[in-house]
Amino acid sequence: MGKKRIIAKAEPGELSGQKQEKAASLERKAGLGIDEGRVYINSSYNNTLITLTDCRGNVLTWASAGNIGFKGTKKSTPFAASKVAELIAERAKKIGVNKTWVIIRGIGSGRESALRSLASRGLEILSIKDATPVPHNGCRPRKARRV
């Protein structure tokens, strides 16, 4: 059967190493005085990625459905997208971002639910832009079959 792993339990107020680093980086970014930002929602058939940037485009924080812990086909669900958006809204509040411009890209099922979650969590949405790439003429057709 193998050895059983014993995991040391942390105190209630104590954070693990990675979570501690993440909290410290958010505190550093909170001191920058950023109150406006852009939220990029990239929704594909397989995952939903949300990135929070400042107005210049420098990334402040990001999260994805896979990053949170969803696996396989559950990453592409609207529920997973809303959970990612809730996490980003929470991090945005810690940094101090209140007003956002939202840029949505992709054709996945998590587009609308992520946007609704951002709005319901108290972020003021100034504009919504759809930046989904659209092909103009498509791919080159196959060559004609000669019999």
Query: What's the confidence (pLDDT) of residue 12?
Result: 60
> DSSP readout, 44-67?
-SS-EEEEEE-TT--EEEEEEHHH
Flag whether 143 is in a domain. Answer: no
Flag whether 147 is in a domain. Answer: no
pTM of the model: 0.77
Domain containing 103 equals 38-130
Total domains present in the chain:
1
Angle at 68 between CA 65 and CA 70, to 5 degrees: 60
Taking the C-alpha atoms of residue 73 and residue 41, their distance in angstroms, rounded to an integer, is: 18
Flag whether 23 is in a domain. Answer: no
At residue 13, does pLDDT exceed 60? no
Flag whether 6 is in a domain. Answer: no
Residue 134 and residue 108 in contact, taking contact as beta carbons nearer than 8 Å:
no
Query: What's the confidence (pLDDT) of residue 6?
Result: 66
Region 35-56 average pLDDT: 93
Flag whether 33 is in a domain. Answer: no
pLDDT tens across 91-123, in order?
A: 999 999 999 999 999 998 889 999 999 999 989
**Which of 99, 102, 103, 101 is CA-nearest to residue 122?**
99
What SS3 class is residue 85?
Answer: helix
Taking the C-alpha atoms of residue 26 and residue 91, their distance in angstroms, rounded to an integer, is: 7
Query: What's the confidence (pLDDT) of residue 18?
Result: 67
Query: What's the confidence (pLDDT) of residue 8?
Result: 63
> What's the CATH code of the domain at 51?
3.30.420.80
